[in-house]
């Protein structure tokens, strides 16, 4: 049995009742109330409910800088990042600036190669951008920790607008900001923007909203004739979900608006092409499509090839070219899966050897192999984190001989803060690091792996207790029989679920009537639940279940011969 504790969410009855009184579906009202929604206004996903750009520190100054650049015909070069958030943010910047009057011939972009340049606005990327003779650099999804790169650009006479959402750099426990002309980042000191969870693409979208307001104030257009920036929300939604940022109320509105446009076939040609190669129907688009279908195909370019492919797919207005680029991204993603499968097998074997030597799993896991590929270390770290429920780092050898790694964490262990403590305790081991609570990156000196591993494990032993190391799944408790129907699945699929606003996960006692293996990898189940016989599937599970068991499951529609039925998708089990 999987070592997991199933814990039901609390549902404030008064809140749920108030939501029902406001017209929210009874089941949905319970689910929303359990996730902290307190009023019907939070359920309203209209554009008018978005937080205003004036609340975002630096947005007005960024708008003036960009408006001046557009009016003066200055050359603007966007400095992108090599993940889906960075690619969509770049596409939003380029498309938005064109909509707002920037001349196409005065716009360009550069994107780092993961293996060659590393992350962020490095001096090398500034030099690469200088070939386009820019007057203004605009970073998207990076730059807040690029102290040397921003200084390098400023020393060459360039203005630099940093738009980012990552945490700033720390020096001697003090926050240090780059010497940029303007910084827009909800996580910079002094920013009081209510949503700290904006993705990089969300920050750029807000800068465009502020720019449009500035140009409107300058008389470039009025409210009736102003460009429709909301036409970019399909890209904003894609990048927001793919970056796994917390879906607070503001982010949920951004994603909901993007999904609405996609379902109505109002999307960029590249987004439509990605749906096509993924075999997904845009009319039935969900947030999960962004996270598990479109996002990985764009990310694959940054992992194994060149993110230019992903950006070009998202910025082209030529449907045929978009289709060709999407096909390339799909092929790269298939290659990524093969590379990942091989690395995962190696990692699993290494973990098995490690566990055989220990009485209990280590407090934190560090893996390295000369055959590991730098582009997929983060994915494999996530797999190992899920398997052991421990913070996990996976490293690969970089071209310069250093070790580049990516880490994933568990609730209760702030990974970026842990790296900061490791750097203090082992001076000279970490060349650079950065990230968030749940995900971070680090570059080690070639011989620093053992010291890093020891220091990270020590921090983990100090910060983690038995309760934190017990994997806990929060569920929505039993699902009443009346809701087991395709209409309920459609209702739930139409909502925006994701990080920090998890999709419904129900839990109940069942009797296992029959269980067989599907394709030798998945458990196919026949269950008796609440007096009715139901079908269920547990993907990537081959160990049989006992006759009586408590299951955590989601609902999915299963179509067969034109008939729709509800299937239980099992995620965890606990013996009764």
Of 235-239, 395-399, 561-565, the least confident: 561-565
pLDDT in tens, 562-574: 788 899 999 999 8
The verdict on 513 and 565 lying in the same domain is yes
- How confident is the model at residue 189, as a pLDDT? 95
- Collect all residues with Cβ–Cβ distance below 8 Å to 408 and sequence separation of at least 6: 378, 381, 382, 384, 385, 391, 392, 415, 438, 439
| 415 and 440 in a common domain | yes
Helices 84-99 and 200-217: angle between axes, nearest 10 degrees: 10
Indicate if 226 and 86 belong to the same structural domain.
Answer: yes
Q: Which is more confidently placed, 337 or 436?
A: 337
Is the domain of 237 the same as that of 273?
yes
* pLDDT on residue 558: 83
Indicate if 416 and 509 belong to the same structural domain: no
Q: Is residue 377 part of a domain?
A: yes
pLDDT at 560: 74
Please say if the pLDDT value at position 196 is more than 90: yes
What is the 8-class DSSP label of residue 501? B
Q: Examine the domain organization and report whether 478 and 450 are in the same domain.
A: no
Choosing from 316, 332, 348, the residue where a domain stops is 332
Residues 476-519: tens digit of each pLDDT = 999 999 999 999 999 999 999 999 999 999 999 999 999 999 98
Residue that terminates a domain, selected from 469, 495, 522: 469
| Beta strands at 522-529 and 532-538: parallel, antiparallel or unpaired | antiparallel
Q: Residue 340's closest CA among 314, 315, 377, 366?
A: 377
Q: Are the C-beta atoms of 70 and 100 separated by less than 8 Å?
A: yes
Q: Are strands 439-444 and 403-408 parallel, antiparallel or unpaired?
A: antiparallel
Q: Which domain holds residue 222?
A: 47-332
Domain boundary among 297, 332, 367: 332
257, 128: one domain: yes
Model confidence over 543-560: pLDDT tens digits?
999 999 999 999 998 877
Residue 34 falls inside a structural domain: no
**Average pLDDT of the residues of the chain:** 95
Asked whether residue 462 falls in the same domain as residue 499, the answer is no
Q: Which whole number is the average pLDDT over 10-30?
A: 96
Identify the CATH number of the domain in which residue 370 sits. Answer: 3.10.310.30
Tens-digit pLDDT profile for residues 361-384:
999 999 999 999 999 999 999 999
**What integer is the mean pLDDT of 430-449?**
92
Confidence of residue 434 (pLDDT cuts 50, 70, 90): confident
Could you give the CA distance from residue 137 to residue 158 in angstroms, rounded to a whole number? 7
Within this chain, do residues 197 and 326 fall inside the same structural domain, yes or no? yes
Q: Which long-range contacts (CB under 8 A, 24 or more apart) does 263-269 make?
A: 266/231, 266/234, 267/234, 268/91, 268/95, 268/234, 268/235, 268/314, 268/322, 269/316, 269/317, 269/318, 269/319, 269/321, 269/322
The whole-model pTM stands at 0.93
343 is a domain residue? no
Give pLDDT, residue 436: 82
Q: Do 403 and 271 have their domain in common? A: no
Return the pLDDT at 173: 83
Mean pLDDT throughout 419-434? Answer: 94
- 313 and 197 within one domain: yes
| Residue 8 within a domain | no
543 vs 7: CA distance, rounded Å = 23
- The answer to whether position 133 is within a domain reads yes
2 has pLDDT over 80 = no
CATH number at residue 85: 3.90.1640.30
Residues 161 and 193 in one domain: yes
Contacts for 134 with CB less than 8 Å, ≥ 6 apart? 75, 76, 77, 108, 158
Question: What's the whole-number mean pLDDT along residues 112-125?
Answer: 88
Which CATH number do you get for residue 522?
Answer: 2.40.50.460
| Helical segments of 264-401, H only | 269-277, 287-289, 295-304, 308-315, 319-357, 377-388
Confirm whether 352 is domain-assigned: no
Q: Is residue 491 part of a domain?
A: yes
Domain count for the chain, please give it.
3
Lowest-confidence region among 125-139, 251-265, 348-362, 446-460: 348-362
The pLDDT score that the predictor gives to residue 171 is 85
Residue 1 or residue 300, greater confidence: 300
Q: Rounded mean pLDDT of 68-93?
A: 97
| pLDDT at residue number 118 | 77
Average pLDDT of the residues in 391-408: 96
Residue 4 lies in a domain: no
pLDDT at 303: 93
What does the DSSP 8-state code read for residue 166?
Answer: S
């Amino acid at each position: 049995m999987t070592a997991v504790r199933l814990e039901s969410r609390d549902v404030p009855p008064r809140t749920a009742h108030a939501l029902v009184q406001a017209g929210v579906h009874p089941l949905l009202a319970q689910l929303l109330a359990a996730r902290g929604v307190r009023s019907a206004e939070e359920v309203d996903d209209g554009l008018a409910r978005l937080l205003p750009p004036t609340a975002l520190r630096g947005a007005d100054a960024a708008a003036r800088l960009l408006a001046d650049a557009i009016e003066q015909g200055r050359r603007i070069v966007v400095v992108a990042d090599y993940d889906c958030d960075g690619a969509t943010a770049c596409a939003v910047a380029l498309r938005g600036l064109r909509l707002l009057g920037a001349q196409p011939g005065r716009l360009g972009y550069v994107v780092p190669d993961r293996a060659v340049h590393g992350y962020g606005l490095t001096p090398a990327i500034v030099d690469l951008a200088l070939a386009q003779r820019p007057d203004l650099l605009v970073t998207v999804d990076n730059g807040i920790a690029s102290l040397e790169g921003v200084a390098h650009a400023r020393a060459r006479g360039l203005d630099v607008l940093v738009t980012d959402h990552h945490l700033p750099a720390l020096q001697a426990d003090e926050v240090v900001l780059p010497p940029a002309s303007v910084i827009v980042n909800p996580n910079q000191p002094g920013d009081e923007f209510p949503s700290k969870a904006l993705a990089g693409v969300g920050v750029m979208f807000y800068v465009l909203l502020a720019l449009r307001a500035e140009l409107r104030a300058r008389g470039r257009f009025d409210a009736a004739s102003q460009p429709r920036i909301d036409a970019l929300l399909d890209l904003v939604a894609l990048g927001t979900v793919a970056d796994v940022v917390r879906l607070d109320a503001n982010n949920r509105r951004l994603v909901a608006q993007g999904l609405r446009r996609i379902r109505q076939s109002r999307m960029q040609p590249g987004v439509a092409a990605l749906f096509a190669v993924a075999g997904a129907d845009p009319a039935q688009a969900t947030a999960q499509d962004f996270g598990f279908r479109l996002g990985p195909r764009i990310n694959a370019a940054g992992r194994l090839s060149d993110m230019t492919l992903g950006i070009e797919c998202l910025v082209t207005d030529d449907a045929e070219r978009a289709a060709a680029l999407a096909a390339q991204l799909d092929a790269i993603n298939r290659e990524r899966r093969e590379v990942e499968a091989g690395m995962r097998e190696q990692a699993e074997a290494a973990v098995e050897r490690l566990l055989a030597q220990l009485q209990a799993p280590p407090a934190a896991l560090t893996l390295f192999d000369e055959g590991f590929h730098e582009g997929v270390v983060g994915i494999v770290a996530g797999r190992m984190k899920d398997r052991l429920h421990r913070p996990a780092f996976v490293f690969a050898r970089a071209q310069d001989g250093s070790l580049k790694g990516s880490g994933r964490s568990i609730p209760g262990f702030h990974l970026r803060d842990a790296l900061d403590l490791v750097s203090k305790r082992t001076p000279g081991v970490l060349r650079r690091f950065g990230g968030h609570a749940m995900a971070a990156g680090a570059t080690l000196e070639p011989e620093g792996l053992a010291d890093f591993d020891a220091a990270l494990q020590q921090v983990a032993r100090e910060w983690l207790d038995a309760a934190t190391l017990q994997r806990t799944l929060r569920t929505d408790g039993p699902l009443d029989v009346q809701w087991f129907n395709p209409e309920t699945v459609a209702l739930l699929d139409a909502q925006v679920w994701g990080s920090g606003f998890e999709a419904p996960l129900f839990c109940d006692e069942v009797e296992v009537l029959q269980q067989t293996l599907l394709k030798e990898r998945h458990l196919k189940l026949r269950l008796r639940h609440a007096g009715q016989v139901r079908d269920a599937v547990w993907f990537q599970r081959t160990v049989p279940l006992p006759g009586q068991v408590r299951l955590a499951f989601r609902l999915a529609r299963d179509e067969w011969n034109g008939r729709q039925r509800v299937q239980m998708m099992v995620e965890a089990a606990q013996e009764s």
